[in-house]
């Protein structure tokens, strides 16, 4: 064999060897079966800030566990309304979820403290509370109910919106039928303002407004826009009566299956995803407000004097829900 042919054959063999290694590597990667595949329930649309936060969480976990833990985010209430998702989390039918505190407080009434009407001055005030010892203490409280609290998500501030009649003052709300979350506190708050509360799951609010079952509802700008409620309730009164934070949770049954190291990774990824969600939330609030108005919503700004009357009207709610925790309320108020 000539020297040149020998080199060619050697070159071909080396290339074939390299190709075999590459093919073996690719097969190995694609055949790697995750150790865990977990479900994650989310009741918002696929591109809503909290769902984007959940997707980021799932990506981070997959990356940090090198594919051993996969989390499948199911948006649009595919796994049920928040109330049912909480039950499923409790017995391990769903592994992870993000829920509104209003719903969680139905299971753990102490949580109501963090969503009292007009409790926080603004979002900065709320984050000071949730990012500190108080927030951590409430995350831990979820343990009592077979849940593991992981992080806090932003859901902005809620205001009323109505179909036929604008709300410009407290008198306008009297006797109005208002949809609220499936929450005793939210129902009582709306009734303290003189309206009649209807507890209806989130996914049914559009049709309740459209069919005239209720005269209005209350929520933040992104929910109002993403759920297209502006089409059936065009008067949005910026009264900002409450901030309801949201919690990212794991089922304790799922949690107990994990090693301490994986638990630590998941906690860190949840916190990182919460910071990410908070950033996109702030941008989305502005965008949604603009889009809703462009699409025909009318924004009504409540005068300061009226806002003071709204604040006054909900004071009785503090006596009913926070009689045993007025010290925490004071502490929160002093943190502004
Ligand atoms: C917000 C919150 C949802 C909740 C909804 C509601 O949009 O993010 O989790 O279900 O309010 O009013 O029901």
Q: Is 242 in the pocket of ligand 1 (CB under 6 A)?
A: no
Q: Is 226 in the pocket of ligand 1 (CB under 6 A)?
A: no
99 CA distance to ligand 1 middle (Å):
8
pLDDT at 3: 56
User: Hey, what's the torsion of the CAs at 284, 122, 109, 176, to 10 degrees?
Assistant: -80
Q: Which atom of ligand 1 is nearest to the CA of 218?
A: 12
202 CA distance to ligand 1 middle (Å):
6
> Which of these ranges, 22-26, 222-226, 280-284, 322-326, has the smallest mean pLDDT?
22-26
Q: What is the three-state SS of the chain?
A: CCHHHHHHHHHHHHHHHHHHHHHHHHHHHHHCCCCEEEEEECCCCCCCHHHHHHHHHHHHHHHHCCCCEEEEEECCCCCCCHHHHHHHHHHCCCCEEEEEHHHHCCCCHHHHHHHCCCCCCCHHHHHHHHCCHHHHHHHHHHHHHCEEEEEEECCCEEEEEECCCCCCCHHHHCCCEEEECCCHHHHHHHHHCCCEEEECCHHHHHHHHHCCCCCEEEECHHHHHHCCHHHCCCEEEEEEEEECCEEEEEEHHHHHHCCHHHHHHHHHHHHHHHHHHHHHHHHHHHHHHHHHHHCCCEEEECCHHHHHHHHHHCHHHHHHHHHHHHHHHHHHHHCC
228 CA distance to ligand 1 middle (Å):
14
Q: Which atom of ligand 1 is nearest to the CA of 99?
A: 9
Q: Is 82 in the pocket of ligand 1 (CB under 6 A)?
A: yes
In this structure, the number of other CB atoms found within 10 A of the CB of residue 102 comes to 25
pLDDT band at residue 322 under the 50/70/90 scheme: very high
For residue 28, pLDDT beyond 60: no
141 CA distance to ligand 1 middle (Å):
21
Phi, psi of 43 (to 5 degrees): -95, 5
- In a mutational test of the pocket of ligand 1, which residue from 187, 217, 223, 281 has the highest number of ligand atoms less than 8 Å from its CB? 223
pLDDT band at residue 312 under the 50/70/90 scheme: very high
For residue 22, pLDDT beyond 60: no
pTM over 0.85: yes
User: Hey, what's the torsion of the CAs at 309, 234, 165, 76, to 10 degrees?
Assistant: -80
100 CA distance to ligand 1 middle (Å):
6
How far apart, in whole angstroms, are the C-alpha atoms of residue 180 and residue 189?
10
Q: Is 155 in the pocket of ligand 1 (CB under 6 A)?
A: yes
pLDDT in tens, 130-180: 999 999 999 999 999 999 999 999 999 999 999 999 999 999 999 999 999
128 CA distance to ligand 1 middle (Å):
22
pLDDT in tens, 40-71: 999 999 999 999 999 999 999 999 999 999 99
Q: Is 202 in the pocket of ligand 1 (CB under 6 A)?
A: yes
Higher pLDDT, 26 or 318: 318
For residue 25, pLDDT beyond 90: no
């Amino acid at each position: 064999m000539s020297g040149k042919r020998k080199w060619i054959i050697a070159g071909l063999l080396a290339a074939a060897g390299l190709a075999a290694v590459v093919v073996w590597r690719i097969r190995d990667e694609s055949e790697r079966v995750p150790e865990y595949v977990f479900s994650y329930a989310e009741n918002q649309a696929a591109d809503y800030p909290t769902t984007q936060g959940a997707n980021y969480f799932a990506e981070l976990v997959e990356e940090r566990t090198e594919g051993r833990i996969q989390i499948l985010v199911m948006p649009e209430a595919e796994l049920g309304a928040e109330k049912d998702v909480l039950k499923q989390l409790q017995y391990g039918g769903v592994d992870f979820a993000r829920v509104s505190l209003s719903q969680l407080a139905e299971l753990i009434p102490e949580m109501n403290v963090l969503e009292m009407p007009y409790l926080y001055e603004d979002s900065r005030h709320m984050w000071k509370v949730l990012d500190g010892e108080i927030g951590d203490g409430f995350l831990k409280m979820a343990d009592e109910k077979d849940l593991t609290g992981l992080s806090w998500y932003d859901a902005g501030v809620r205001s009323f919106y109505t179909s036929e009649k604008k709300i410009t003052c407290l008198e306008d709300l009297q006797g109005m039928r208002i949809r609220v979350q499936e929450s005793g506190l939210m129902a009582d708050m709306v009734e303290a303002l003189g309206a009649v509360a209807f507890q209806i799951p989130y996914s049914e609010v559009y049709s309740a407004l459209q069919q005239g079952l209720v005269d209005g509802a209350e929520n933040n700008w992104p929910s109002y826009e993403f759920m297209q409620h502006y089409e059936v309730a065009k008067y949005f009164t910026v009264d900002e009566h409450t901030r309801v934070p949201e919690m990212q949770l794991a089922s304790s049954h799922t949690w107990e299956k994990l090693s301490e190291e994986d638990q630590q990774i998941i906690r860190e990824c949840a916190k990182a995803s919460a910071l990410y969600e908070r950033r996109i939330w702030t941008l989305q609030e502005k965008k949604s407000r603009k889009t809703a108005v462009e699409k025909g919503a009318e924004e009504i700004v409540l005068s300061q004097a009226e806002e003071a009357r709204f604040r006054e009207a909900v004071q009785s709610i503090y006596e009913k829900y926070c009689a045993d925790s007025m010290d925490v309320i004071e502490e929160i108020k002093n943190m502004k």
